[in-house]
């Protein structure tokens, strides 16, 4: 109830309504356990790019993606034109997040946000900060529901409160949500609105129109040289000339030559006991990691979207 008082005072929401809604939330122990970091194993395995990619860039998911692309081609094109984010990247994100709406989550968003705002597990190394974060997300959620006339007890999502096809948190919904179908409301469970909202989000995080996510490279140099150049992480700070001076060249196709002033990051994707894949990533790979911090996720979004774009329409 003290949290309800703080939210009502800060947001201008009616106190009685805020208390009533928060009072109906059910605390969930499974949610508390799910937000704890995984226990470190005694011998952690190296990551496996080929295995990770194969889980998502596979025939069944590609067919579902082609169906989504064909059904929403007009909205995808409008989003690409308006925000400068390629349709295949938008499609890839939605496919990775919820299989284009087939897996949006069944947990009440209200229960998830209240649980994590008032009873975040103290075993988490950043419990205090995370509790504050979820209290702020709860406030955003209540404001969104109140302003749209939606019962806050109805929406379902993930255990962390992510919602809709793009799995947005309430603050992302409030900041980047787009009414792409023009019905006067933003509905993240509507495919067209989700398409526009993903494009808006990526553009807001710095997507650079016209740049690919990465370039393949040719490099006959020691792994130690590659590792040294990759030490700066995903921040693109290497010029084409610098990479070339170390014996690394970009593999491009006719018409795909990068701008001469492009900045790149040398990035390793581990393949467990097989040789790693090394790429030259643009700033757009880093943008995709704002959606999900894994470089493997970002690359799979790119590869899944490309596979769908290259596939013909279903008969």
| Euclidean distance between CA atoms 97 and 202, whole angstroms | 14
Give the position of tokens 């805020």: 18
Given 97, 241, 242, 303, the catalytic residue = 97
242 catalytic, yes or no? no
Residues assigned a catalytic role: 97
């Amino acid at each position: 109830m003290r949290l309800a008082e703080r939210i009502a005072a800060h947001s201008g929401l009616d106190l009685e309504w805020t208390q009533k809604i928060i009072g109906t939330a059910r605390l969930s122990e499974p949610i508390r356990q799910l937000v704890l970091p995984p226990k470190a194993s005694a011998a952690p395995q190296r990551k496996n790019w080929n295995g990770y990619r194969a889980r998502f860039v596979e025939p069944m998911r590609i067919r579902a993606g082609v169906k989504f692309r064909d059904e929403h081609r007009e909205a995808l094109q409008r989003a690409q034109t308006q925000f400068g984010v390629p349709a295949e990247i938008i499609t890839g994100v939605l496919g990775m997040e919820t299989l284009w709406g087939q897996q949006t989550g069944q947990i009440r968003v209200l229960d998830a946000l209240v649980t994590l705002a008032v009873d975040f597990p103290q075993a988490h190394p950043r419990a205090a900060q995370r509790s504050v974060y979820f209290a702020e997300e709860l406030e955003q959620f209540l404001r969104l529901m109140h302003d749209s006339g939606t019962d806050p007890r109805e929406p379902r999502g993930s255990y962390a409160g992510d919602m809709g096809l793009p799995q947005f948190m309430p603050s992302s919904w409030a900041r980047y949500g787009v009414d792409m179908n023009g019905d006067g409301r933003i509905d993240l469970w509507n495919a067209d609105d989700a398409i526009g909202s993903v494009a808006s989000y990526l553009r807001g995080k710095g997507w650079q129109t016209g740049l690919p996510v990465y370039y393949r490279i040719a490099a006959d140099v020691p792994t130690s040289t590659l590792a040294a150049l990759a030490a700066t992480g995903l921040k693109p700070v290497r010029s084409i000339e610098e990479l070339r001076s170390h014996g690394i060249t970009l593999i491009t196709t006719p018409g795909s030559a990068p701008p001469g002033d492009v900045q790149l990051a040398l990035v390793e994707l581990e393949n467990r006991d097989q040789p790693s894949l090394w790429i030259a990533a643009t700033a757009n790979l880093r943008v995709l990691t704002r959606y999900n911090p894994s470089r493997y996720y970002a690359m799979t979004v790119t590869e899944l979207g490309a596979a769908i774009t290259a596939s013909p329409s279903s008969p």
